[in-house]
Structure 1
Amino acid sequence: MTRPDPAGVPGARQAAGPGGRRISVRLRLTLVYGSLFFAVGVVLVLVNYLFVQRTIEQPVMASKPTAFAVRIPAEEALQQVPPPGTMRIVGELRDVYRTNVMTSMLQWSLLAIAVVGGAGLAIGWIVARRVLAPLHKMTETARRLSESTLHERIALDGPHDELRELADTFDSMLERLNRAFDSQRRFVANASHELRTPLAIDRALLQVSMTDPQLPRQVRKVGAELLESNGRQERLIEGLLLLAQSERELTTRRPVDLAELAGSALTSVPEATAELRAAPAAGDPVLLERMIGNLLDNAVKYNDERGLVILRTGQDRWGNVVTVENTGRPVPAGRVDDLFEPFRRLDRDRTGSAGGAGLGLSIVRAVAQAHRGSVEARPRPDGGLVVTVRLPPAPPPPQHLPDLSAAAPLALPSGR
């Protein structure tokens, strides 16, 4: 089990990049949009630069005489010949002019590319957020879902595009999963209820029969074994009923103190040591007390001759904490998660239920998840387990406005 994310922003929204770095999809889309803006701007600048360069280098010559042409006699034309070096100076000025024009145009074009590219990045960032908003909504909904909250739906609004089709497909899948889980829980609950009655009848018949003093010793021994087997089956059915009940959505949420519930559960385990601190929470008191009782029963049942059982309650920065520590046989670290599965035991024995039905920690996990919490276990170095349940703190009480109905009426001036 993983510890809840205190920031509330898990890293699942980001994709792993090279070197272990994470780049979000929104940033990648922004870079794509900005790159397209830059690429188009560079192409436009190159085309414009080549066109202006070709145009400005064309010689300016009169192809035919104009209407304003003036005829100059040959003698005067010879007298108006420019002095030597003038054409060279004019050519140099023309080259300087062309160079200045092309340099200025290139500089302003590059500045325009930078401005347009920056605007493209900003627009791409905004557009990417709007495009990914439905995906974020689907992700948040999927993250909130559990077996007890499968009734929630995305219900995405907007045009019937690919994202709307994906959201509708996800909603239909949730509907099917909800029906499947409800059907499974109803089957377990109904089967457990149906089995309780014949088992109670069998136990009553066996107990009545065992009261006969004329029964042979061998028959009494078989009757005692049948009564013990009947008790194990009843405990198994009770566990199935509680598991089915704890996996449903909570209908009762009341302010409770986990320390008080732990104190009530300790009455059946006198050998346990308690370190109880206040831990206010909100939930079903019956299920929470049964969760703590299952932790204690599990700690006592799988203990060794050292017999150490410590129950702690309190708070940390994550919320409320309930910890049960016990001694016992060494538990491999790779097998710890298997202990939270129904009917799973450390020795992989699925038939012999003398030590228990294998539902204790499964019920603990189901109750914790129903209360939006988590449970984790770690093996002790010298044998045994440390099981920690984390539950969210109780919400603050609503602030009501003061009741002014019983206040003394204000003395208004009479106007005299």
Structure 2
Amino acid sequence: MSSERARLTALYGGLLTLAGALLMGLVYVLVSEGVYSSVLTAVVPAARLDAASGPALPTSDWAQTTVVQPGRYAVAQKVSTAAGDAALSQLLTVSALSLAVYAALSVGLAWWMAGRVLRPVGVITARARRLSGSNLHERIALKAPPGELKELADTFDGMLDRIEQLVAARQRFAANAAHELRTPLAVQRAAAEIGLADDPPPEKVAWIREKLIDTAAGSEQLIEGLLLLAVSDEGLRRREPVDLGATTTTVTEALAAEAAERDVTVDVAARPVGVEGDPVLLDHLVHNLVANAVRHNHPGGAVRVRVGPGGLEVANTGPVVAPETVPLLFEPFRRARARRHAPGEGAGLGLSIVASVARAHGGEATATANPGGGLTARVTLPTCA
């Protein structure tokens, strides 16, 4: 910051000094133009001017009403010239001294002004140097009149808000992922230690085998979801035209058997909509939305799937969801109800993967709670011709 302050000081001080030098130069030129005639007017004795005698005098009101003898006029002219030179010399000396003092004051004032202007930058720099994972809650909160630097400080505070939220979300994600991965491992170990400690009967071995397979399947599903979430967070590696309507139709047909098993009716109306993106990620997006709508439902419930120019909309019946908890469902490992570790329950990554894939495609995922129960999830994506 000191170098920037020195540059601003040189700029401000130079401009002020240049303005002072130009002003004093202009004054010197204007004064020198009339100083000789003014001095001559002051020293020549008053007399009546004879039109035929003496040399011509300066054209002024005084010259038209006075007369001077030739000898006296020459002396007066020499005196006025000497007086004018002395006055101009004195003026030049005073101007030079004044300019030197003015330049010194200008530099001092410029240094002070530059410090005042750059003070918010110093505050931002000092705060940025102190920031770490333990004090991301601190803000600049610059108290200054509206301006560019005030806007910069407010923008920096807004950036810190987003960083704090991102770091907190990542910390929660890591903690939840560790917990979710630790639980099935603990179940597997306990089943192996308890069930296989002695010589177990065949039916117990079969039960343990089934339990270990279910736990391993859940762990595999969790790891696959984590990897998919990480891939979608990185953005798209490839883009190609994808028919969102055809993808939705294919996915809902693949889930028809599960929907029938759960006694859930799925109504699909998918129009052709072109999207530029990754077909695999878009397939996961649609699958997670429709699968969530089917699984978080009740027997005899319904799922409505619509695809149009506005994007994808999936609405379902089911348990009543508090409106204030809906935005939280898009965070990893968040569920509308507490986890019971039941088979096929899922890890709570479905909607977070949907939101991540939508962001990767330049879109947005939102949801609203239905008054009678269930959710209406909407995904808007940029379309292509």
TM superposition score category, shorter chain reference: 0.3 to 0.5
> Normalized against structure 1, the TM-score is what?
0.44
Q: Which has the larger radius of gyration?
A: 2
Per residue, is there more helix in 1 or in 2?
A: 2
> Normalized against structure 2, the TM-score is what?
0.47
